[in-house]
A and B are shown apart, each in its own frame.
Chain A
Amino acid sequence: MEINLSDDLIREILLRLPRRSLARFKSVSKPWLTTISSPYFIKQYDTMNLSSFFSFVHVDHENDNNGFQQKQQLYSLRTALGTPRFCPEIKKIVTVDSSNGLILYGAAVDLKERFGTYHSFFVTNPQTDQCRFLPPSPHSVSLDQPLPRYVEITTGFGFDHSSDSPHYVVAEIVPMDPFELEIYSYNSVTSAWTCNRANLRLLFNELEDNLNLNLNLISIPRFKLISGSVFFHGKLHWVTSNGDVFVFCHKKKLCSLIQGPLVSKMTYNQSRNMKGTKIARLGESRQRLVIVALDVGMENDSFTFSSWSLEDYNKGKWVCDYWVDVGSFDNIVTKQPKYLEVVAISPLDPRILCLNLGFALYLYNAKTKEVQLLHQYKHVNVYEYWQSYCHHVVPRSPPYIDPHLYLDVLSRERTCAKPIEKFWVRNGFISMTNACYRTTTS
């Protein structure tokens, strides 16, 4: 019997392939080329493979004789999108953030004989396995003298793929003293880090003036940013531990604050041990900034989810989307979680959340209170509390750029499709020196 798959079946199969395979299979025959290149196919492929929220990156840590190895995997609803390939010199990879289809990783790059170990960021396009190293940010150039442990650096990442000159920006916020921040930002157009300072007193005063309020700065708990930035309106946003939103505009190098919606000025965390914690997460849903807060009862016996949308960005007007008393988590998951974190908020509906319970990722619907297991971690170990996954934020359209061109359109930098180590040695250090020279302090 002849194998003769109908065009429809071929199409169904092609829809389930990674982009890399598709690009290759364009040269199989004319009909295949036509199918794969047709706008209808591309659209269907994107809705199927990138439609989500369900898509996330997870770094799986696996112990072996040589210490530990890592396997990274990009998961989406239907298919594992692929396994990023990294050269062996890159160790301890953590997913930091994702924006419009690009993923920011942090890693220790081990070039012992020549240079020692460096901490570095790199950006990948999971559709193509392309990878770009960033020069080390000026404050982490030398790992011989690492920053003191108590300094909590918050990272932000945004990929502006829709402007005339697509670019990405990485920012590191370093608290210097209770009222002073240093902001290191990298822009792919200039390929350089710059440093700016922000005075929180001034920012709060500004906010007070705008709102005719007296915020009484002293009563505000220690200013802290919760990691997980949102790139929105061309600016980076973080939620602070008091529930406000900290904004950094990398173009103007300006910081500002948006007063948050959270009624009580409690201290919010990103996560951690559950009892009595208040967890906040910033996201984007239905084209608005959204804060989802979770209050955990003192006995781990009650959970309350609440969500606010920033209805008017310029006026800072928040609207409560919902307030749900979940009760105990027992009836939701069988294993009592010791750890909880809101990983992501659905871009389509703020009631749909992705939760990390330490041993697995769950999808939670605050309306129906239904829970769906998304991904069970293979190895739950000491790294349980490590941020080893992130929500893979999908590219937005229009305007539409073919995702495999993402890194190509970004800058005139040399494309680094695979030989990462070469790029690093050849260009990385050159860029690094540049970065140091170009660093400006305002």
Chain B
Amino acid sequence: MSSSSTTTTTTRLLMLKASDGVTFEVEEAVATKLGAINNMVEEEGSEDLICLPNVNGKFLGMVLEWCKKHANNNTNSDKGNDEVNKWWDKEFVMDLDQNTLYHLLMAADYLSGTELVDLLTEKVASMIRGKKVEEIRETFKIKSDFLPGQEEEIRKKNSWAFE
């Protein structure tokens, strides 16, 4: 049970600069939901401009949108928060196309947004659970590195999973 006695002091604003030069102005409380930014803030202290050379503006924007929602929901009343967050998370991942999803996941991972990574990996898992081996290879750009015969052997051992 988090006792949220939020004494709202003057909210500090951070500038986040994405790889393509797009900048976002966000409250510190929102941005620090991301582990990576939290670390930077704690280490560098006074620096208000944070450069994120590995994240594209489009996906940084989406990650921040998620952070904002969760930060807002958490400061609201205590009860029913989980429900609201869950519902909102569902909406958030509902219409993501595959490409966006994977890039967003990479961005969230890079920024150490653990909760968001959980949400997105769950979504990816639900999308690939029924896929064929060949489809997986295509999705993740993986080449089979098995020796001839090896793959058949493994398939045979796990034949129940192919029925």
A residues with CB within 8 A of B:
1-6, 8-10, 12-33, 78-79, 128-130, 404, 417-418
Contact = CB atoms under 8 A, between A and B. Distances in A.
B90 interface: no
A416 to B, nearest CB: 11
A13 B142 contact: no
A13 B106 contact: no
A442 to B, nearest CB: 40
Chain B interface extent, by class: 35 or more
Contact of A29 (B132, B145, B161): B145
B141 interface: yes
22 contacts: A3-B103, A4-B106, A5-B102, A5-B140, A8-B109, A9-B117, A13-B125, A14-B125, A16-B122, A20-B161, A21-B128, A21-B130, A23-B158, A24-B132, A24-B158, A24-B161, A27-B158, A28-B142, A29-B143, A31-B145, A129-B160, A417-B163
B99 interface: yes
Given A1-B56, A4-B106, A9-B109, A21 B161 contact: yes
Contact of B136 (A2, A16, A28, A30): A28
Contacts of A418: 163
Interface in B120-163: 121-122, 124-126, 128-133, 136-137, 140-146, 151, 154-155, 158, 160-163
Contacts, number: 97
A29 B128 contact: no
Contact of A5 (B105, B143, B144): B105
A437 to B, nearest CB: 32
A27 B151 contact: yes
B140 A17 contact: no
Contact of B129 (A2, A4, A12, A18): A18
Contacts of B132: 24
A3 B158 contact: no
A18 B122 CA distance: 12
A30 B125 contact: no
Nearest to A33: B154
Interface of B: 56, 99, 102-103, 105-106, 109, 117-118, 121-122, 124-126, 128-133, 136-137, 140-146, 151, 154-155, 158, 160-163
Nearest to B155: A27
A17 B128 contact: yes
B38 to A, nearest CB: 19
A30 B133 CA distance: 13
Given A23-B161, A27-B154, A128-B161, 14 more contacts: A3-B99, A3-B102, A3-B103, A5-B106, A8-B109, A10-B140, A12-B117, A13-B124, A20-B160, A24-B161, A27-B151, A27-B155, A29-B137, A32-B142
B98 to A, nearest CB: 9
B106 to A, nearest CB: 7
Contact of B121 (A16, A27, A417): A16
A105 to B, nearest CB: 19
Contacts of A1: 56, 103
Nearest to B98: A3
Contacts of B56: 1
Contacts of A25: 133, 136
B130 A27 contact: no
A21 B144 CA distance: 17
Contacts of A4: 106, 141
Given A18-B129, A21-B129, A29 B146 contact: yes
Contacts of B105: 5, 9
* Residue of A10, A15, A19, A20 contacting most chain B CB atoms (<10 Å): A20
Contacts of A417: 160, 163
B28 to A, nearest CB: 27
By Cβ-Cβ distance, the 10 closest A-B pairs, closest first, are: A16-B125, A23-B161, A23-B158, A24-B161, A12-B121, A3-B102, A27-B154, A21-B129, A20-B161, A13-B121
A268 B105 CA distance: 53
B160 A26 contact: no
Given A3-B102, A32-B142, A26 B158 contact: yes
Nearest to A418: B163
A13 B118 CA distance: 9
B133 A24 contact: yes
Nearest to A21: B129
A3 B130 contact: no
Contact of B125 (A17, A24, A128): A17
A24 B133 CA distance: 7
B128 A13 contact: yes
Nearest to B59: A1
Contacts of B130: 21
B142 A29 contact: yes
A17 B131 CA distance: 11
A377 to B, nearest CB: 17
